Structure 1
Amino acid sequence: MKSKSRSKLNSQLYAMLLPNLILFISLTVYPIVWSLRYMLFDYDGIRSASFVGLDNFVRLFTRDDVYWSSLLNTFEYAAGKLVLIIPLALILAMILNIPFKGNTLVQAIVFSPTIMSSAVMALMFYLLLNVYNGDLNRLLLSIGIIQEPINWLGTSLAMVSVILVAVWGGVGNYMVYFLSGLQTIPKDIYESAELDGATYWPRLFKITLPMLGPVLRIVLMLAILAAFQDIQSIMVMTEGGPLGETQVVFLYLYQLFFPISTTSAIQPQIGYGAAASVVTGIILGIITAIYLFVSKKLDDIF
């Protein structure tokens, strides 16, 4: 009887896991295998694929300056976003960890951009930052801060603009992680520190931040991966412009597979895009491994 009962339980478990397994194989495993296959071919999705061996990789490492500049832009974008979003999320979490009237409402307001569609959010800011009809320029002109409209998305300000939009859209998510971490710190520790005469700053650096270490490492990992994968808002707001200033690597890969406009100089290059995607995945894997190694060493030290 126990054998039959156990067999029935296992069958139920496998049945519940089967939909997720099918989705994982079809949406994750198959695309990876597909990319590994076509990275050695010259293929545009229409004509028959022709085998080119390592030519795609030779082109990537020797002749494709756009790829490497987009990779540098990605690092710039990720660094700018992380420098702003992590401290801001932590500060907001510490403020909202203090009970006050309307605390829940403020949390909901700060978190609300996180549940908004990235494309809708980007379109909203595209209209807001429009050089001629944007409300931001109208406001600044009306109060005399500027004398002529600023082209927020068509000059060197474009990268700053997309970073600020990304921070606005994601800070609420990381704030929730920090807030949950702060609420798990026992209040007895703070009370003991106060009795010993510890002021706010010693409590912050010797109690709060060290005890938030595990949450901080998770938030950093999520923020790094999210920053490298952000393309929707940039696609809508700048399409990689001006002159490639905001061209990040995943947007470039997307353009290799699917040109995003009729004026784009990039033609569908599925085989080459597959090779570039594999190299990008390896680079991200190396970055993740370095982060995990450094994080583990910091754990051992502290």
Structure 2
Amino acid sequence: MSRWRLHTAAYALLLPFLLFYVLFMLLPLGLGLFVSLYNWSFTGDKLFVALDNYKDLLMDSDFWASLWHTFYFVIISTPTLVILGLLLALLVNLKLRGSWLFQTVYFLPNLLSIAVVTAVWSIMFQPYTGLINAGLHFLGMEDEIFWLTDPGYAWYSILTATAWWTVGFNMILFLAGLQEIPKDLYEAASLDGADRKQQLWYVTIPMLRRVTVLVTILQVIASFKIFGQVWLMTKGGPGNATRTVVQYIYETGFRQQNMGLASAMSYVLMIVTLFIVILQFRLMNEKEKVGGTS
């Protein structure tokens, strides 16, 4: 078969994906940027304001507060979910009797919808009647904890529900990485006198570096986009203590009907997320280079 025919066949196979990519990714991105330059409402009123929407964001204290709340969730959720995913993968990879059952149980919550997950955990976190407080009372704690209405506990309640729901996906990625590590490396380390702890630290973790980078970047992106858990569990409360950027975008666009300002917020969030991911990727690559040359 000639090169021209090979190229034609390749482009023909790629064409459906490219069409979907243009229609549902590139075109919305372009339209969103266009809308962000207008004072655009649902009533059809459109007024070109250039960069005024972006200037307004600089003076919007609520936007910066919601951005900080989002950063805070990224800071507490990313290490938690990456480390938990790794620990669960290591546990399942021991291949003990019934380990397949644990793997299934850990991953099953991923198949549930966010509405089901938040409904279950909201009931469990209820004061007086919730399972969490009942367990604490059984252990001797007398004070009632208001998990979803106390600013000191609300974020950790959301993190708990998120971890239970999503950590199984990270576990699967780490488990795939563990199963790709050559057994010869462990045999060589064992012959050199390395115990299990040393094999974990000097063989397993370095060999999982690329998987760790992937899991971390995916987790950062997912945490920046958090909305469903917060909206269904706390509505951004108490007060605005857990209101994230995506929730603020939703309120600005659909409640205040200011689609131009909401689009500008979306682009700022996209730029911040890309910056953090690129910075993180470069830092991890630099560490890998340093580790490889040392």
Query: Shared topology, TM-score over 0.5?
Result: yes
Structure 1 residues 194 and 238: CA distance shift in structure 2, 3 A = same
User: Is the aligned partner of 1:48 residue 2:48?
Assistant: no
Paired positions, count: 290
The partner residue of 1:153 within 143, 148, 169 is 148
User: Is the aligned partner of 1:25 residue 2:14?
Assistant: no
Q: Distance in 2 between matches of 1:191 and 1:87?
A: 26
1:263 alignment counterpart: none
SS at match of 1:258: helix
1:192 alignment counterpart: 188
2:211 alignment counterpart: 215
1:264 alignment counterpart: none
Q: Distance in 2 between matches of 1:100 and 1:212?
A: 21
Q: How far does the alpha carbon of each residue in 1:129-180 deviate from its partner, in whole angstroms, 9 at most, with x for none?
A: 2235433334444x26343542111112101110111111111111111111
SS at match of 2:23: helix
Comparing 161-170 with 186-195, greater Cα deviation is found at: 186-195
SS at match of 1:50: strand
Q: How big is the alpha-carbon RMSD for the aligned residues of Structure 1 and Structure 2?
A: 2.0
1:295 alignment counterpart: 284
SS at match of 2:232: helix
2:271 alignment counterpart: 282
User: Is the aligned partner of 1:273 residue 2:262?
Assistant: yes
User: Is the aligned partner of 1:123 residue 2:112?
Assistant: no
User: Is the aligned partner of 1:248 residue 2:237?
Assistant: no
Percent identity, aligned pairs only, is: 32
The residue type paired with residue 242 of structure 2 is T
2:34 alignment counterpart: 37
SS at match of 1:280: helix
SS at match of 1:243: coil
Structure 1 residues without counterparts, runs of 5 or longer: 260-266
Q: Please report the TM-score for the alignment, with normalisation by the length of structure 2.
A: 0.91
Q: Distance in 2 between matches of 1:15 and 1:118?
A: 37
2:71 alignment counterpart: 75
Q: How far does the alpha carbon of each residue in 1:43-73 deviate from its partner, in whole angstroms, 9 at most, with x for none?
A: 12213111222221121002x1111111111
Structure 1 residues 147 and 274: CA distance shift in structure 2, 3 A = same
Q: How far does the alpha carbon of each residue in 1:97-141 deviate from its partner, in whole angstroms, 9 at most, with x for none?
A: 112111111100001111211222112212222235433334444
Q: Please report the TM-score for the alignment, with normalisation by the length of structure 1.
A: 0.89
Q: Distance in 1 between matches of 2:79 and 2:177?
A: 20
The 5 Å alignment of 1:52-63 reads 52-62=49-59
User: Is the aligned partner of 1:174 residue 2:174?
Assistant: no
1:262 alignment counterpart: none
- Confirm or deny: 8 A CA contact 1:131 1:152 kept in the other structure: yes
Structure 1 residues 199 and 246: CA distance shift in structure 2, 3 A = same
Structure 1 residues 202 and 139: CA distance shift in structure 2, 3 A = closer
Q: Distance in 1 between matches of 2:192 and 2:131?
A: 53
The residue type paired with residue 116 of structure 1 is L
- Confirm or deny: 8 A CA contact 1:81 1:164 kept in the other structure: no
